[in-house]
Amino acid sequence: MRKHKLKWWIYLSQKKSEIKSWANLIKTLFADNNWYLGVFIVLLILFIIFDLIAFTPHS
């Protein structure tokens, strides 16, 4: 397991890609068999937005 993480980290450090837009960020998160990370980030963002809308006091 540790060896796999090390290979992944080396691959990411060698990869020269820039994230210039939200769409590019989402594509990058779902690329290279990292779909679970992309799903987690997208759900986290949606949860934060829902939390702000639902639990902000409206007068």
pLDDT at 5 over 70: no
Instruction: Residue 44: give the domain boundaries.
Output: 18-59
Task: Check residue 34 and give its pLDDT.
Answer: 74
* 54 found inside a domain: yes
* 27 found inside a domain: yes
DSSP one-letter code for 32: T
DSSP one-letter code for 37: H
Structure tokens at 25: 């960020």
* 58 found inside a domain: yes
* 40 found inside a domain: yes
Better-predicted residue by pLDDT, 13 or 1: 13
Read off the pLDDT of each residue in 14-42 and give the average, rounded to a whole number.
75
* 5 found inside a domain: no
CA 28 – CA 18 distance, rounded (Å): 10
pTM, entire model: 0.50
First to last CA, the chain: 52
Read off the pLDDT of each residue in 43-48 and give the average, rounded to a whole number.
93
Better-predicted residue by pLDDT, 25 or 55: 55
* 28 found inside a domain: yes
* 37 found inside a domain: yes
